[in-house]
Every structure is written in structure tokens, then in C-alpha cells.
């Protein structure tokens, strides 16, 4: 087990180095840089001013040197300066992380707390009206783009309550504080909840046909005990895998949700930084997201062993 | 007809805009909450070339002079002192001297003096040690030889030749006075001004906050305690925010005509106006390479345009057709309608125009069996892309098959500068409704913004002639002649001049949307809230 963990950690490191090279090169392959964008606003490009600015920002250096400078800085905890705001990249990124983390955690919580129980109910009541209704809900969750759902929620809020739950850094009441996170989390988590529900349902259906479930019933175990203690425990592994993958994919949904609900989180910031070709911000944010994804995958793998004692990682 | 136009202009000049200015005694206090359409690249007005910078940061500064903020039409007659107490031209028109106000302080407590004026304009002219990272309006000061000071409270602009328009350029929202003791880098992130509001913070993609300057040198102003801009890039969210009352005002001149209807339907009490904004949509033609090096084809292109169709489709009829200079009554320099209609392509009979265009195309070797294939390059932004699509449809009628070539923003100007296009769909905004700003910038030989490299030395002589002319009536006639010639040469065919909407809650008073510039009306020192 120990050797397995060490091997996974080394693999994680190699993955992150690979990602760092890919993102660094890709950013520079995309036509145009921050200087082009700045001059775009001015309506023309002055070649001398452009060269001066590229020199000031270090964009005139060979690409390998730029890469080494970045990695060297990263190892020293220096993430560089945002080209746009001219503030340390760390100061720009750090305050935004808790906002997105809170939103992502709430979205995952929503996804699991809604998706798993509804999946179980749907499986237990297979073929019933309730099952059909829940399947329609899950299909709509998979079909509705989160930006559209977000806009619908905002429009409904304005029409029904005359107010809208867009971000406010200093909420006046706890209901406002709840709304500014919970509503967007529901919008982004709806799709994940639908997917979780479908996976839970199909996994449960398979498990509920197993002999040991019949045995548990024959022994007089209650339906709740059969469904949740015996069946769900064994049906949960694929669900955890899906939630792990969803956690990684969540950033895509968060980009649109943060934009629609005007939440100043990491995801929207990444898009804006890309628009400006703000390399220090984009590189460091992508690395941060990569670390989160790699660690999430690792954690999910470790959870398998914790949940199912039959799983043992060997060399 | 002219008398009607003159009356309209007089009405614009004399009437304080909208009902707000005529209201009761202004109330003090309150934070004006507005959304901002995007996160500006910096807080430095001199380094920006978009009103995304002007709108939030103009309240931080003062100019030497400014366009009167409650008069909707910018003109020489609406210029009032700001940091200057008075100004005077020398007899030969080559020296403009400003007496400066005394006792004015920068927001950091340091005194404002004539040295700050010299510093600012030396930097704009590229003469000082400190440099702007970019200096998009350097050419505005091409005729300024030097800025000299006489003591702490007098500054003079010494010109190479008379240029009456300089005063208008100095009155623009683009021309604030910067402090000598603050570096350009600091001005990009933490601007220090003398204006009615002090800079508090600028969180990229989040918000911009300004607070009242209690030591403002204009007594009793500003009325507001502060201004807060929430940056919302999603237009639907922003409009919903306004409708729900989260914002007191929309981002000025950013509400499209169809969207304005929605706002009025959902917030019937909101005050909404649609005004011209001195932004033209035009075609840039690469006349240095085939096929548009052929004047016949360029003329055919100009003849094929159905400008009214563009206006009807994009603005539900609420936009204007004109030449280079903004159409009347909002614009001060546009040629009369009857003169405009004599220009090929501006006549009312579109079918006859297109018939003539087809003959020109046939003379150039094209026809129904040999159609000309061209790419129409434009930026990947709806206000660029949409008219490009209409253009493609219209030029089909003259044997040209256009293909839309959308270009990423970062690549647009490099591509244009490389002349890597045949036809381009472009927008041109004018900060000051004055021919000196528009003509030199867009049509002078060698100008950076003369994207098509149109160069006509004869016309350039007329540029200079109108620029030195003091008599406004004579200058106007010269400008009309120039504008007509530019359109006949198909230098940069103008399709239409747009209009846009702005809305605010009924309790917001003292807002004036300028009708011939989107860059000059955001001091907000006399805005107040009746609540």
C-alpha cells in the first residue's frame, strides 16, 4: 500500500510537470499576447511601444527561459505579477479561491445529497410513476445548460421576489448570504445531481437483484436497512467515481455560473485572464486546477479501499 | 430644412438635458450604484482608448476645461473652466494661455500647480522622462510645440500653427490633468486626481469604488457620497440587476434598442433615453491589393450599400446615415442632407445605385457567371459581426460573394496593420465631435489609425486649411467638401452612425447623456439622488 501511494505521488508530480509544459506552450501558441490586447483598445499597434512593453513584461525572452523563470518562481512561492492589474498574481488568485471552493463544495454537496437518495428511491420504485417522474427530472438536469438554468433562476427571482441572488461581498442577512451561494450552487449542481441519480439508480438496480439482498429481506431486515445499509453500501463505488470525475469537471460549469451570477471566483477570473492573455494568472490558475483534479482523483482511489475492504492496492 | 436643423441644435444647446436638471434643490448623500460592462485594463484614462476607462475614472479627475456636463451637445460654446479659471488665445492664434485655480489639492493632499499641467502634456507629447505604457492620443498634440508655465498658476500651449480645435480636445474626458508626483504605473492602479470623487479600490472583474472628495474645490459638490461600479460582463444579468433595483443606473450608452424595450416593459418607471454616440460603422477597404485596388470595384461596393436596411435591421430605425462627420442635429459638422444625397451610394434609389454598381463590376470583368469571392474580416463581437453579415447579403446583388472571416480581438489590429484583409467591417468612435480629431486620425497619410492607408495630399491640404480656420461657418463648408470627397474616394465607406440607450431609476437626477461623444460626460459631480 505504501509503495502504491509513493508511486501515485510520483505519477502526480510527473502529470503536473507535463501539464505545466502543455499549458505554457499552448498559451504562447495562441495568436496574440497581452500587448496586442492592450494596443487593440488603443486602436493601433505602435511597434516601438509594443517592443518596449514586451521587454518590460519579459515576453521577449526565449520561451524556455520564460518557462524556467515561471517554474523557478513557483518553487519559491513567487507566482509573478498580473500583466493587467500589475499586482502579485498570488494576491489576485488567493481571495478568489475560497469563493469558488465554497461554491464547488456546495454544488457537490447538493449533487450528492439530492442525487443519491433520489437514485435509491427511483431504483427501489422501479417502473412506478415516481420512478418515471424522477427519471424525467434527471433527464432535464442532464439536458439543461447551466447558464440557461442560471438565467431562468435569475429571471424568476426578479419576477417573483423583485430581487436577484447575485454576489454581494457583504450580505446583510443570513438569507442573502445563503442565497448568493446556494442558488448558484444548485444551478451548477443540478446536472451533477442528475448524473449521480442515474448512476445510483442503475447501480442500485444491479445490486438489488443480488442473492444477499434477498437473504437480508428473508432474515427480516427492514426495507430501509436493506436499501441503505446493504444495497447502497455496495452500489456506492461507481457513484463515488462519478462524483470524483464531476468534481474535476465542475470548473467548466462554474465558469458559466460565476459569470451569470456575477460571482468573483476563480473560474470567471480564469476566463477574463485568458481574454487578456494574462499569462501569469492563467498559468498559475490552470496549475491550481490541475492540482485539485489530480488530488481529487487520488482521494477517490484511496476512498475505494476505505469503503470496500475487498479492494487492496498492491505493488 | 436648415432652419429646422438649426432650431434642433439650439434646443440641444440651450436646454439642460432631461427633466432632472430642472428639478428641485439637489439632495446630498447616497451611493450611486451602477454596473460596468467589463473590467477595464487599467485606471489610467490617458493610457486607455475605451469609455470603459473614462466612465468610472473621469469623476476622479479634472481637466483644464471641460464640456459643460448638463449640456448634451459638446461644442466650443459649451466649454467651461475646470482646473483653469480662464483662458485666452493670443492674437495670432498660436498661443493658448490658461490661468489656473489656486488652492486646489490632489487627493493625497499635495497642491496642484502649473507644473502638473506641464508634466501631463509633456508626457502626452512623449517629451518627458516618464512614459506612458501606451499613448493612444499622442497625435492630438501634434501641433503643440511646447507647454510653458509662468509661475505656479499659469500654463500656456505654444502651437506650431493656429489650431482652434485644441480647446475642444482639452475639454474631452480623455484629457485629465495628472499629478507630477505620481508615476504612470501608479496611475494605472491607484489613480490620484483632483476630482469630485476619490479612488477607493479597483478589484479586477469585481468592482470599482469611488468616494466623495470632501475637499473638492468646487464648493457644494459633489452631491453623492460615492459611486460604486459592479463589474458584470453578462449583459442579461446586468439588465436584470437594473430591473430588480440593484443598480441605480445602467452602464451609459450600453443598452441596445431591443433590450431597451425589455427594460421599459419590466421597469416602467425607469428613465430611458436613446441617443446618438458618434460611433460610425464603416468598411475598411484594402486598396493596396487586388481586387479593391480597382477604383471601379470600390465604387461599386459603395453603390451597393442600402444603409437604411442596416439601420432598420440593427436599430429598428433608430440610427443615422451620414458621412464621416456625425449627422445633424446631434453632430455639429455633418454636410446638409441634399449634399449627402449627391454622393454615389447615398441616393434614395437603391435599385438604380445597384444597377450602376453592376455595370462597374462588369467593366472590371465580373458578372453573374464570374462572381468575385472575398472575405469580409471583422472582430468576433456582435456589433461588428452583425453588420458584416448584412453587408455580405447586400453585396451579393453586385456579383460579390462575401465570406465572413471572424478575427479574435487580439489579432484584429495586427491583421489590419499587415493589410491581411480585403474588406473589413470596422467601428470608429470619436471622442470629440471635431474634424481635427476625426480627419487626421482616420484619413491623414501615415496616421496609425488610418487602417486603409488612404493618402491624398490634396485632401490633406484641406485638412490643414480647415484646422487653422477660425470662422466656424467657413470651416464647416471646408469640412463638408472634405467629407464628400472622402466618400467619393471610397476611403472608408461609412454605413451608419449608431445610437444607444441608457436607463436610470427615476430618483437619479442630473444625468446627461452626451449626444455627440461617448467619452466626455461622466464627471458626475452634479448628479444626485432624490431619495
- Model confidence over B258-289: pLDDT tens digits? 899 999 999 999 999 999 999 999 999 998 88
> Which pLDDT value is given to residue A42?
66
Between A223 and A248, where is the model more confident? A223
CA distance A149 to A137: 13
Is B200 an interface residue toward A (CB < 8 Å)?
no
Q: What is the structure's pLDDT at A48? A: 82
Q: What is the pTM of this model?
A: 0.88
If you ran DSSP here, which 8-state letter would residue A230 be given? I
At residue A315, the pLDDT reads 52
CB B138 within 8 Å of CB B120: no
Chain segment A49-96, per-residue pLDDT in tens? 888 888 888 899 999 999 999 999 999 999 999 988 889 999 999 999
> Which DSSP helix (H) or strand (E) runs through B367?
none
Q: Which residue has better confidence, A249 or B295?
A: B295
Residue B14 pLDDT: 43
A250–chain B nearest CA distance, Å: 20
Phi, psi (degrees; rounded to nearest 5) at B375: -100, 135
Q: What is the pLDDT of residue A82?
A: 92
Give the residue ranges of chain B where pLDDT is below 50: 1-22
**Within 10 Å of residue B462's Cβ, how many Cβ atoms?**
17
According to the model, what pLDDT value does residue B518 have? 94
Taking CA atoms, A214 is separated from A128, A220, A221, A239, in Å, by 21, 10, 10, 23
Q: Are B194 and B182 in contact (CB under 8 A)?
A: no
pLDDT of residue B23: 52
Q: Do B49 and A85 touch (CB under 8 A)?
A: no
CB contact under 8 A, A39 and B134: yes
Chain A residues whose beta carbon lies within 8 Å of the beta carbon of residue B49: 41-43
Neighbouring CB atoms inside 10 A of B389's CB total: 15
With CB atoms and an 8 Å threshold, state whether B413 touches A44: yes
Identify the closest residue of chain B to A43 by CA–CA distance: B449
Distance, CA of B13 to CA of A122 (rounded, Å): 71
Tell me whether residues A53 and B134 touch, CB distance under 8 A: yes
User: Does B267 contact A at CB distance below 8 Å?
Assistant: no
C-alpha cell at B92: 495670432
Contact in structure between A305 and A30 (CB atoms under 8 Å) = no
Dist. CA A68–CA A281, nearest whole Å:
16
- Smallest CA-to-CA distance from B513 within B531, B497, B530, B499 is with B499
Contact at CB, B410 and A269, closer than 8 angstroms: no
- Check CB contact under 8 Å for B410 and A37: yes
Q: Are strands B207-212 and B400-407 parallel, antiparallel or unpaired?
A: unpaired
For residue A41, name the pLDDT band (cuts at 50, 70, 90): low
Q: Please answer whether residues B522 and B22 qualify as being in contact, where contact means their C-beta atoms are separated by less than 8 angstroms.
A: no
Residue A113 sits at the vertex; the CA angle it makes with A108 and A114, to the nearest 5 degrees, is 100
| SS3 state of residue B48 | coil
CB atoms within 10 A of CB A293: 19
- Other C-beta atoms closer than 10 Å to the C-beta of A163 total 14
Smallest Cα distance from A293 to chain B, Å: 25
Q: Distance between CA B463 and CA B454 in Å, rounded?
A: 14
Amino acid at each position: 500500500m505504501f509503495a502504491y501511494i509513493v508511486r501515485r505521488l510520483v505519477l502526480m508530480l510527473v502529470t503536473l510537470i507535463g501539464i505545466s509544459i502543455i499549458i505554457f506552450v499552448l498559451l504562447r501558441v495562441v495568436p496574440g499576447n497581452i500587448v496586442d490586447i492592450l494596443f487593440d483598445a488603443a486602436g493601433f499597434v505602435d511597434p516601438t511601444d509594443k517592443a518596449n512593453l514586451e521587454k518590460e513584461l519579459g515576453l521577449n525572452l526565449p520561451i524556455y527561459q520564460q518557462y524556467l523563470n515561471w517554474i523557478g518562481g513557483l518553487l519559491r512561492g513567487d507566482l509573478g505579477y498580473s500583466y493587467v492589474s500589475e499586482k502579485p498574481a498570488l494576491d489576485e488568485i488567493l481571495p478568489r479561491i475560497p469563493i469558488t471552493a465554497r461554491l464547488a463544495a456546495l454544488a457537490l454537496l447538493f449533487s450528492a445529497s439530492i442525487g443519491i437518495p433520489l437514485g435509491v428511491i427511483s431504483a427501489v420504485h422501479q417502473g412506478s410513476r415516481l420512478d418515471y417522474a424522477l427519471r424525467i427530472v434527471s433527464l432535464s438536469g442532464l439536458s439543461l445548460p447551466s447558464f440557461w438554468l442560471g438565467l431562468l433562476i435569475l429571471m424568476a427571482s426578479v419576477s417573483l421576489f423583485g430581487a436577484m441572488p447575485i454576489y454581494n461581498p457583504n450580505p446583510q442577512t443570513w438569507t442573502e448570504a445563503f442565497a448568493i451561494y446556494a442558488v448558484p450552487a444548485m444551478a451548477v449542481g443540478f446536472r451533477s445531481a442528475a448524473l449521480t441519480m442515474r448512476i445510483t439508480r442503475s447501480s442500485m438496480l444491479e445490486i438489488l437483484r443480488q442473492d444477499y439482498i434477498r437473504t437480508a429481506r428473508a432474515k427480516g431486515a427492514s426495507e430501509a436497512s436493506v436499501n441503505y445499509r446493504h444495497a447502497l453500501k455496495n452500489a456506492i463505488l461507481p457513484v463515488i467515481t462519478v462524483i470524483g470525475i464531476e468534481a474535476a469537471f465542475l470548473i467548466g460549469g462554474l465558469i458559466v455560473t460565476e459569470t451569470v451570477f456575477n460571482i468573483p471566483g476563480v473560474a470567471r477570473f480564469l476566463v477574463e485572464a485568458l481574454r487578456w492573455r494574462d499569462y501569469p494568472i492563467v498559468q498559475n490558475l490552470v496549475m491550481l486546477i490541475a492540482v485539485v483534479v489530480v488530488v481529487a482523483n487520488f482521494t477517490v482511489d484511496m476512498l475505494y479501499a476505505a469503503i470496500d475492504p475487498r479492494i487492496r492496492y498492491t505493488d | 430644412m436648415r432652419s429646422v436643423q438649426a432650431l434642433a441644435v439650439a434646443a440641444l444647446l440651450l436646454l439642460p438635458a432631461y427633466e432632472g436638471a430642472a428639478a428641485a434643490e439637489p439632495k446630498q448623500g447616497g451611493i450611486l450604484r451602477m454596473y460596468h460592462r467589463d473590467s477595464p485594463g487599467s485606471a489610467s484614462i490617458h493610457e486607455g482608448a475605451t469609455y470603459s476607462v473614462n466612465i468610472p475614472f473621469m469623476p476622479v479627475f479634472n481637466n483644464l476645461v471641460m464640456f459643460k456636463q448638463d449640456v448634451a451637445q459638446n461644442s466650443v460654446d459649451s466649454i467651461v473652466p475646470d482646473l483653469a479659471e480662464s483662458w485666452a488665445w493670443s492674437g495670432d492664434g498660436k498661443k493658448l494661455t490658461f490661468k489656473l485655480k489656486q488652492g486646489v489639492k490632489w487627493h493625497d493632499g499635495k497642491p496642484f500647480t502649473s507644473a502638473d499641467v506641464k508634466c501631463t502634456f509633456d508626457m502626452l507629447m512623449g517629451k518627458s522622462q516618464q512614459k506612458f505604457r501606451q499613448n493612444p492620443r499622442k497625435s492630438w498634440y501634434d501641433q503643440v510645440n511646447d507647454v510653458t508655465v509662468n509661475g505656479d498658476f499659469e500654463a500656456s500651449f505654444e502651437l506650431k500653427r493656429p489650431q482652434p480645435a485644441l480647446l475642444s480636445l482639452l475639454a474631452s474626458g480623455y484629457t485629465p490633468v495628472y499629478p507630477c508626483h505620481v508615476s504612470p504605473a501608479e496611475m494605472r492602479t491607484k489613480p490620484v486626481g483632483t476630482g469630485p470623487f476619490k479612488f477607493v479600490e479597483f478589484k479586477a472583474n469585481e468592482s470599482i469604488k469611488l468616494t466623495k472628495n470632501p475637499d473638492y474645490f468646487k464648493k457644494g459638490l459633489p452631491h453623492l457620497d460615492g459611486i460604486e461600479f459592479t463589474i458584470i460582463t453578462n449583459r442579461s444579468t446586468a439588465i436584470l440587476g437594473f430591473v430588480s433595483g440593484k443598480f441605480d443606473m445602467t452602464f451609459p450608452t450600453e443598452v441596445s434598442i431591443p433590450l431597451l424595450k425589455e427594460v421599459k416593459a419590466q421597469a416602467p418607471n425607469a428613465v430611458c433615453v436613446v441617443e446618438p454616440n458618434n460611433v460610425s460603422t464603416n468598411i475598411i477597404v484594402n486598396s493596396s491589393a487586388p481586387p479593391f485596388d480597382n477604383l471601379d470595384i470600390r465604387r461599386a461596393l459603395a453603390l451597393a450599400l442600402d444603409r437604411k436596411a442596416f439601420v432598420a435591421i440593427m436599430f429598428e430605425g433608430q440610427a443615422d446615415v451620414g458621412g464621416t462627420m456625425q449627422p445633424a442635429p446631434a453632430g455639429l459638422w455633418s454636410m446638409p442632407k441634399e449634399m449627402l444625397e449627391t454622393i454615389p451610394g447615398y441616393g434614395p434609389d437603391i435599385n438604380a445605385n445597384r444597377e450602376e454598381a453592376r455595370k462597374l463590376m462588369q467593366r472590371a470583368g465580373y458578372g453573374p457567371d464570374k462572381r468575385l469571392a472575398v472575405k469580409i474580416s471583422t472582430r468576433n463581437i456582435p456589433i461588428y459581426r452583425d453588420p458584416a453579415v448584412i453587408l455580405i447579403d447586400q453585396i451579393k446583388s453586385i456579383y460579390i460573394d462575401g465570406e465572413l472571416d471572424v478575427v479574435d480581438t487580439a489579432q484584429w489590429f495586427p491583421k489590419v496593420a499587415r493589410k491581411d484583409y480585403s474588406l473589413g467591417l470596422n467601428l470608429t468612435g470619436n471622442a470629440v465631435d471635431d474634424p481635427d480629431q476625426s480627419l487626421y486620425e482616420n484619413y491623414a497619410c501615415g496616421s496609425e489609425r488610418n487602417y486603409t492607408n488612404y493618402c491624398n495630399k490634396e485632401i490633406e491640404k484641406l485638412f490643414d486649411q480647415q484646422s487653422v480656420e477660425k470662422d466656424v461657418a467657413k470651416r464647416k463648408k471646408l469640412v463638408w467638401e472634405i467629407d464628400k470627397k472622402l466618400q467619393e474616394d471610397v476611403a472608408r465607406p461609412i454605413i451608419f452612425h449608431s445610437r444607444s440607450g441608457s436607463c436610470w431609476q427615476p430618483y437619479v437626477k442630473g444625468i446627461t447623456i452626451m449626444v455627440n461623444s461617448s467619452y466626455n460626460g461622466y464627471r458626475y459631480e452634479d448628479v444626485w439622488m432624490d431619495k
